[in-house]
Amino acid sequence: MVVQAYRFALDPTPAQNRDLHRHAGAGRFAFNWALAAVRANLDQRAAERTYGLDGEQLTPALGWTLPSLRRAWNTAKPQVAPWWGQCSKEAFNTGLDGLARALGNWSASRSGRRAGPRVGFPRFRSRRRVTPSVRFTTGTIRVEDTRHHVTLPRLGRIRTHESTRKLARRLHAGTARIMSATVRHTAGRWHVSFTVQVTRTVRTPARPHATVGVDVGIANLAVLSTGQLVPNPSHLTRAQGRLRTAARTLSRRQGPDRRTGQQPSRRWQQAKTRLARAHARVANLRADGLHKLSTTLAVTYGTIVVEDLNVAGMIRNRRLARYIADVGWATLRRQLEYKTTWNGSRLVVADRWFASSKTCSSCGVVRPKLRLRVRIYTCEQCGLSLDRDLNAAINLQQYVARSGRETQNGRGADRETTLVVAGGSEATTLRHHRGG
């Protein structure tokens, strides 16, 4: 049993399009109202402390959990939003849930319970900067038997732009159960994503006893230890001209101005949609290529070995940041983690300190230094001359057998490595993902 997502494009009618925007706006309104209430409560309690008040003398704190925010909203909504009956309760719950998560992340980051960069205090959501979305967890959420329609609470039956047969077949067979549905507006089109519990049959790869090393790069998306090269399509680089033209056109149109209250022109809206679609095309092409590569590896080889790259650190290089982000190394590894589980194979993540590029794949001697511009690996011990990326891929293939042994150089890289096997389930939602 895994949790998986199915995403479909929608073709709503003009009336349904207005209803979708109304629901997304209702969620944003609830988020902003609750955030204003929380900030007012915090400011009031802070002011009272300056007067020497403490403990029970202070104004009661407003809870940050979703149930607390929901109770406060249900009490105040007849006054602050008399139109609340026009939208589903799930629209307001979407905004309140987003605020509860944001406040929880801020609190955990502030107290040190959350790892990673510091999370700031939530800010108000602007209509122009927030992606319209709404999440449904209760009510009528159904995929119709016509395989070209879905039904959502308060929105009714909406036609899909593509067939829903992949999900409909599982629902009809009883091997899937819809948990929630999220509708999002991106690049001028509405999409619906169903979060589904799926009962999957574990498969066996075509070569269950074969091990392949995968070395990712920029010139080539991946180099396999078998000698196969997967070229980097460089979708972002190829689309730079089209993106520049679209961005320049948008900058010359009459856009919104909050200071003067100027509304955007119709041509500005069209140019904005054109630019968003150009970016969405790049993201979709990248995701399609990564899905095809990860699926091919997972269904073919029994063991796949990849490197544990510090992508967040590598992307700080201003000369390579755009190219690293365009490749999508982190997305490829994330996809391999759940696809290997689905197909009966396993993913082995080599230790970050494993010198795959500096190690000779023939004799195991590690070179002290190997500059990035050197593309041919030459071993001074045994005379091996091989492409640098292919040599690294072969070392990754041999990593499982060499795990626990020390390399043969006298440098800091000759530390003992440990075998790390990654796996687990992951939703297959199509997302606009950064390379890191």
CA atoms within 13 A on the CB side of 303: 18
And the tokens for 227? 């000698």
Our measurement of the distance from residue 170's CA atom to the centroid of its chain's CA atoms, rounded to an integer in Å, reads 25
The whole-angstrom separation of Cα 233 and Cα 327 is 8
* Catalytic member of 307, 326, 337, 426: 307
Q: Which of 90, 97, 337, 389 is catalytic?
A: 389
CB-based burial of residue 84 (10 Å sphere; 0-12 exposed, 13-18 middle, 19+ buried)? middle
Q: Whose CA is closest to 339, among 304, 379, 374?
A: 304
Nearest CA to 267 out of 251, 280, 282, 278 is that of 251
**307 belongs to the catalytic site:** yes
Active site residue 389: yes
For residues 22 and 130, the answer to whether their CB atoms sit within 8 Å is: no
Please report where in the chains the tokens 């309760």 appear, as a residue: 89
Question: Side chain identity at 52, as an amino acid letter?
Answer: G
- Degrees, nearest 5: CA angle 360-364-367: 55
Backbone angles phi, psi at 105, to 5 degrees: -65, -40
H helix runs in 252-265, sequence order? none
Of 19, 215, 337, 426, the catalytic one is 215
Could you list the active site residues? 215, 307, 389
